Amino acid sequence: MNIIIAGTDTTGVTLTYLVWCVLSHPDLRRMLEEEVAALANDFTENDLMNLPWLNGVIEETLRLYGAAPSSLPRVVPKGGAVFSGVPIPEGFTVGTQAWTLHRDPTIWQAPTR
């Protein structure tokens, strides 16, 4: 049962944010509609992968509104690591969370756009 239901909430939430974002930006909506309307009737998955506006909207929705905002735990490898000058011993579990990382202005030009 878990396998059948797993992903329905996250998929539904992500698609809700995607539709909301597109409808909130009329110019983006127009460009996306034109791009998709230009597809041949017998389009394939490869055709969809080559649509920059569609893929950009999907990727930005996942970046800004990821539906699974839990920690991303990782185990420090053998020999340890140094992060921002702080030594972290091997075998130690560290974690990041996507919300801050995906909105970091040192990484993204317009992180909340």
Give the C-alpha separation, 39 to 69, whole Å: 34
pLDDT digits (tens, 9 = 90+) for 17-69: 999 999 999 999 999 999 999 999 999 999 999 999 999 999 999 999 887 76
Q: What is the value of pTM for the model shown?
A: 0.74
Residue spans of the domains in the chain: they are 1-68, 70-113
8 Å CB contact between 47 and 35? no
CB 54 within 8 A of CB 61: no
Report the alpha-carbon distance of residue 100 to residue 106 in Å, rounded: 11
